[in-house]
């Protein structure tokens, strides 16, 4: 849990460094740090500790990569969280996705990370690989994605789907394969000469 959240936090710091200087971008979501504490005298010797977030707790995205659309559309924090997901996805060439973005305002906690099967640069996430595919299919860019110059995932996804469907159209299948049955060998005919 600590490793996942603090890894996502490092990506959020880099995202903030790129986004904050942009005119009109404003405040950037922050993933709060989480710490592992060893308490040897306790029945449960390990615990995690993080800043207490006071206020309305909102989920901006869920673990499966789907955006929580109503909150996202109405909220600057939600739009910036979705942009952060897109940014991470693009920076890692589609190999990693920060999911389950939730918190109070711009302070986020308890995030998840999905990675491709082999992981990404030695890191293996705690969420299903399918979340990456779902995010790519469902994400809708917003003005913050545009400000960062992120490429539309919908266009990329549609091109990939079109290429896949074109390939499958060109591949033979049981209905398009012309079935040929060898003809019976013709019986020899008598040669009739026109000279007779």
- Residue 100 a catalytic site member: yes
- Phi/psi class of residue 6: alpha, beta or left (left: φ > 0; alpha: ψ in -120 to 50)? alpha
Q: What are phi and psi of 106, to 5 degrees?
A: -95, 5
- Phi/psi class of residue 65: alpha, beta or left (left: φ > 0; alpha: ψ in -120 to 50)? left
Considering 64, 74, 100, 190, which one is annotated as catalytic? Answer: 100
Q: Which candidate, 18, 36, 29, places its Cα nearest to that of 101?
A: 29
Q: How far apart are CA 5 and CA 127, in angstroms?
A: 12
Q: How far apart are CA 65 and CA 131, in angstroms?
A: 5
Catalytic residues, by residue number, are 100
């Amino acid at each position: 849990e600590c490793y996942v959240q603090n890894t996502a936090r490092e990506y959020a710091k880099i995202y903030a460094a790129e986004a904050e200087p942009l005119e009109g971008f404003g405040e950037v979501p922050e993933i709060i740090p989480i710490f592992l504490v060893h308490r040897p005298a306790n029945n449960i010797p390990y615990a995690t500790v993080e800043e207490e977030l006071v206020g309305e707790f909102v989920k901006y995205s869920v673990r499966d990569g789907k955006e929580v659309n109503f909150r996202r559309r109405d909220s600057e924090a939600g739009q910036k969280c979705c942009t952060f997901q897109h940014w991470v996805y693009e920076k890692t060439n589609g190999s990693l996705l920060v999911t389950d973005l939730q918190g109070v305002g711009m302070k986020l906690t308890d995030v998840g990370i999905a990675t491709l099967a082999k992981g990404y640069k030695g890191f293996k996430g705690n969420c299903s690989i399918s979340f990456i595919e779902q995010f790519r299919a469902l994400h809708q860019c917003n003005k913050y994605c545009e400000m960062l110059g992120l490429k539309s995932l919908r266009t990329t996804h549609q091109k990939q789907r079109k290429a896949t469907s074109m390939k499958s159209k060109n591949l033979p299948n049981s209905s398009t394969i012309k079935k040929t049955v060898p003809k019976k060998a013709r019986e020899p005919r008598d040669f009739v000469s026109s000279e007779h």
